[in-house]
Structure 1
C-alpha cells in the first residue's frame, strides 16, 4: 500500500519541486520568495481537505472491515458532497482575505503581488482537491492502491508537461504555474471519480439523510483537519520569522519545505496507507494486527529517514548548485542536508501515531499532539533560535518535533494495548456483528475478482 502510494506522491511532490526550480531559473528573488508564502497559504487550505479525507478513509474502512459495504457506499457519497461544499467555501473565503493574510505572514511589495496573483487563480478550484483526495482515500479503503497511484501519477505527469510551456513558453511565470496546477487538479478529480466508479462505490446522495451519513466522517474528519492545520500554522510562523532575515532565508525555507515531501514521499504515503489497514482490522476485532501495523510502520519510518539522510548529505552540494542558492539560502540547505533532516525521524513517527489516533477512535489525541508541536514545540524553540539567525530558527523548528514525536509514539502504543480492555471506545456508534471479518473477506474477494476480470 505504501509502496504504490509513494510512487504517486513522489511524482506530485517532484513536480512541485521542479516548479520551484523553474521559477528560480527566472532569476527573480521576489518570485522565489513568493513561493514560500504561496506554500504557507496552500498548506493551510490543503490541511482541511486532508483531514476530511482521513475521516472518509477511516469511516469507510471500518464499515468494510465490519462487512457493511452498503453503509460504506452511503457514507462515501454523502461525505464527498460535503467535502466539495466545505472546500468551495474555504477557496472563496481565501480569495477575499488574501491581502491581509499574506501581509500578516510578512509578504511585501512585489512578493505580495506575485503571491496574490497565483493564489487568486488556484483558490476557487479547491473543490477539485476535495474530489481528488476523497477518491484516493476511497481507493485505499477498498485496497486498490494501484489505481490510487495511477490517478496521482498521471496528474503529476500532466503538470510536469504544462509547467515549462506556461512558465517559459508563454512567459506567464507564477500565473502559468497556477493555471497548470488547476488543470492537474481537475485531472486528478476526473480520474479519481472514474476509478471509484469502477468499484461501484458511489451512489446518488440522499439529501434528507446527508448529515446523518456524513456525520461518521465529520466526527473524525474535523478533528483530523484541525490536526493537519497545525503543521501549516507552525510552518507559517516559521516563514514569518524567516522573513525578518530577508529573501534569502525565506527562499531557503521554501526550498526545504519542497525537498521534504520529495525525500520522504514514502513516509507520507505510509501514514495514508496504514490508517485504513488499522481501521479494517479494528472493525474485524483483529487487535494484534493493529499493534503489528503500528510497529511495522515505525520501522519503515526509521529505515526511510536513515537512507534519505545519507543521500541528502552526499548530494547537498549538487542541490545548492541546482537551485543557484547563495548566502542564507545556501547555508540553510547545507544545514538541513547535514543535520536537521534527522529530525524527520520524529516527525514521521508523529505522523504514524496520528494515523493510529484517527483510525482507532481517538482523533482528539492527534489534534493535541500536532497543535502542541505547532505551538509549544515551535514558538518558544524558534524564538530562542532566532537569536542565532536563520540557522537557529531551523534548529529550533527541528527540536520541537523531537519532543512531540516521542510523546505521540509512546501514547499510541499505550492506546493500542488498551484495545482488548475497552473495545467499545474504538467504535462507539454500534456493536459489530460476530461475522464481520468473514463478510469483509467475501466482499474484498468479489472486488478482487472484478478487478482481475
Structure 2
C-alpha cells in the first residue's frame, strides 16, 4: 500500500502516471502491430475486425463498472486506514468478475453474429467480424478478473505490478500476432481468427501472472474464501459507483455503433479507414489517460482521509498536465496525419478516410483529455453519475443530428467528424460544471 495523503500531489500524479503510461505505450504498440497485420488481409478483414472490435467498448463499460467501484472504495478504505473493508471490497469484486465473465461468454456467442449483421458493410466484412469474435470472446470474458485485480492495486496506490503484467502480456500478444495471423514460422495462417486467439491467449497469461502476484507478494489485500461469499450490501456499494461509470462506456458503444451503421453506405473502405483512424486515436489518447487514471486513487485516498484541499489540487494539476499532453498530440495530428495512417494501409481510399478523420477529430483531443480527468475525479469522489450524464449529453447531441444528416442530399463523411468534434466540446463543458458542482457538494473547501 502507498499512502497518497502525504507528499507532493504532482509527484504522486507523475509517479503513478509514468508506469501507467509505459504500460499504455506498450499497449499502443500492440494496437499498431495488430492493426498492421490485420490490414494486410484486405479491406473486408480490417473493416470486420474494426467493427467487431467496437464490442470492446461494451466490455469496457462492464469492466469499468467493476473497476471504478473497486478503485474508489478501496482508496477510501485506505484513506480511512480500514484494511478489513478493503479486503471485503476486493474479494467481492472478484465474485462479480466471475459473474460478468459468464454473462460475456453467453452474450458474445449468442448475439455477436446478430450485431455484425446489423453493422457490417457487406457479407465479407460481416463474416470476418464474426470469425474474429469467435476467438476473441474468451479474452473479453477474462478481462474482468484482470481489471478487478489491477483496480484493487490501483486503489492502494500501487500500479507497477499491474503495469509489468500488462507489458508482458502485450509483448506476448505482439509475438503471437504474426505467428497466428500470418503464419510466421508455422506456415498456417489463421487470419482474423489468429488476431482474436492471440489476444485471448495473452489475456489468459496476464490473469495467471497477476493471480500469482496476489498469492505470493501482495499483503494489504488478498484472496479469502470467507470474504468471497456473496455480500449483497457490498455489491450495492460497488454498483452504485460502478454502474454509472460502466454506463458511460456502454453509451460510447452505442455512439460507435451508430457511426459504423451510418457510414456503411460508403462501403468497406470507409469502415476500414474509420477503423484505422479510431485505433490510432485510441493510441494517441493513452498518455493523457495515464494521467487521468492517476486521479481516482489519489483523490480517493485524500477524500477518504478528508484532506479536501489535496482533492482539489489533484484535479487542477491533472487537468493542466493532461491539457499540455493533448495539445502536443493535436499539433502532431494536424502536422502529419498521413504518417500515422499510411503505415497501415496502401489503399488510397482507406488512407484518405483515415487522414481526414484524424485531421478533423484531433481538434477535440484537449477536450477529450479534460473529460477523462473529470471522469476519474468522479470515481475518486465516489459518485460516477455525472460521468454518465456527461456522456449521455454527448450521445443525444450526436446521434439524432448524425442520423438526420445521413439522410440529406450531399451527405459526406466529414459531416460526421465535425459533428463529433462539436459534441465532445459540449461534453467537456458539461463535465467541467459537473466537476465544480461535485467538488462543492462532496468536497467543499473550508472557508
Identify whether the pair has TM-score above 0.5, normalized to the shorter chain.
Answer: yes
Q: Does 1:94 align with 2:115?
A: no
> Which residue does 1:389 correspond to in 2?
412
Contact 1:34 1:111 in 2 (8 A): yes
> Which residue does 2:433 correspond to in 1?
410
Q: Does 1:196 align with 2:210?
A: no
Q: CA deviation at 1:421?
A: 5.0
1:388 aligned counterpart, secondary structure: coil
2:442 aligned counterpart, secondary structure: coil
1:199 aligned counterpart, secondary structure: coil
Looking at structure 2, the residues matched to 90 and 188 of structure 1 have their Cα atoms a distance apart, in angstroms, of: 18
Q: CA deviation at 1:403?
A: 0.7
Q: CA deviation at 1:88?
A: 1.7
Q: CA deviation at 1:96?
A: 0.7
Looking at structure 2, the residues matched to 260 and 270 of structure 1 have their Cα atoms a distance apart, in angstroms, of: 17
Change (3 A) 1:327 1:240: farther
Deviations 1:168-189 (A, max 9, x none): 1221110111111011111221
- Aligned equivalent of 2:30, options 2, 12, 15: 15
- Aligned equivalent of 2:84, options 64, 70, 85: 70
Contact 1:275 1:359 in 2 (8 A): yes
Looking at structure 1, the residues matched to 174 and 345 of structure 2 have their Cα atoms a distance apart, in angstroms, of: 21
Contact 1:224 1:367 in 2 (8 A): yes
Query: Which piece of structure 1 moves more, 57-66 or 335-344?
Result: 335-344
Q: CA deviation at 1:420?
A: 4.9
Query: Which piece of structure 1 moves more, 146-155 or 98-107?
Result: 98-107
> Which residue does 2:200 correspond to in 1?
182
Q: Does 1:234 align with 2:255?
A: yes
- Aligned equivalent of 1:309, options 318, 330, 333: 330
Q: CA deviation at 1:116?
A: 0.7
Contact 1:51 1:227 in 2 (8 A): no
Q: When the two structures are superposed, what TM-score results if normalisation uses the length of structure 1?
A: 0.88
- Aligned equivalent of 1:333, options 324, 336, 354: 354
Contact 1:382 1:393 in 2 (8 A): no
Looking at structure 2, the residues matched to 226 and 312 of structure 1 have their Cα atoms a distance apart, in angstroms, of: 30
Query: Which piece of structure 1 moves more, 117-126 or 184-193?
Result: 117-126
Structure 1 segments of 4+ aligned residues over 6 angstroms from their partners: none
> Which residue does 1:131 correspond to in 2?
145
> Which residue does 1:448 correspond to in 2?
none
Q: CA deviation at 1:99?
A: 2.1
Contact 1:378 1:396 in 2 (8 A): no
Mind listing any 5+ residue stretches in structure 1 that lack a counterpart? 424-453
Q: After superposition, where does 1:414-425 map in structure 2 within 5 Å?
A: 414-421=437-444
Q: CA deviation at 1:327?
A: 4.4
Deviations 1:241-262 (A, max 9, x none): 1111111111111011111121
Looking at structure 2, the residues matched to 67 and 25 of structure 1 have their Cα atoms a distance apart, in angstroms, of: 53
Q: CA deviation at 1:324?
A: 2.4
Let me know the Cα RMSD of the aligned residues. 2.0
Looking at structure 2, the residues matched to 147 and 401 of structure 1 have their Cα atoms a distance apart, in angstroms, of: 34
Work out the number of aligned pairs and report it. 422
Q: CA deviation at 1:53?
A: 0.8
Query: Which piece of structure 1 moves more, 196-205 or 180-189?
Result: 196-205
Q: Does 1:166 align with 2:168?
A: no
Looking at structure 2, the residues matched to 63 and 218 of structure 1 have their Cα atoms a distance apart, in angstroms, of: 17
Query: Which piece of structure 1 moves more, 314-323 or 217-226?
Result: 314-323
> Which residue does 1:293 correspond to in 2?
314
- Aligned equivalent of 1:117, options 121, 131, 135: 131
Q: CA deviation at 1:101?
A: 1.4
Q: After superposition, where does 1:15-34 map in structure 2 within 5 Å?
A: 15-26=30-41, 28-34=42-48
Q: CA deviation at 1:356?
A: 1.7
Q: Does 1:52 align with 2:66?
A: yes
Looking at structure 2, the residues matched to 244 and 67 of structure 1 have their Cα atoms a distance apart, in angstroms, of: 57
Contact 2:95 2:230 in 1 (8 A): no
> Which residue does 1:39 correspond to in 2?
53
Q: After superposition, where does 1:338-357 map in structure 2 within 5 Å?
A: 338-357=359-378
Q: CA deviation at 1:410?
A: 2.2
Looking at structure 2, the residues matched to 73 and 208 of structure 1 have their Cα atoms a distance apart, in angstroms, of: 13
Deviations 1:302-341 (A, max 9, x none): 1111111222333323234312254443223322443321
Contact 1:95 1:124 in 2 (8 A): no
> Which residue does 2:5 correspond to in 1?
none
Q: When the two structures are superposed, what TM-score results if normalisation uses the length of structure 2?
A: 0.89
> Which residue does 2:169 correspond to in 1?
155
- Aligned equivalent of 1:281, options 291, 302, 309: 302
1:114 aligned counterpart, secondary structure: helix
Q: CA deviation at 1:369?
A: 0.9
Looking at structure 2, the residues matched to 207 and 164 of structure 1 have their Cα atoms a distance apart, in angstroms, of: 40
Query: Which piece of structure 1 moves more, 283-292 or 210-219?
Result: 210-219
Q: CA deviation at 1:190?
A: 1.6
Looking at structure 2, the residues matched to 346 and 107 of structure 1 have their Cα atoms a distance apart, in angstroms, of: 31
Looking at structure 1, the residues matched to 371 and 411 of structure 2 have their Cα atoms a distance apart, in angstroms, of: 27
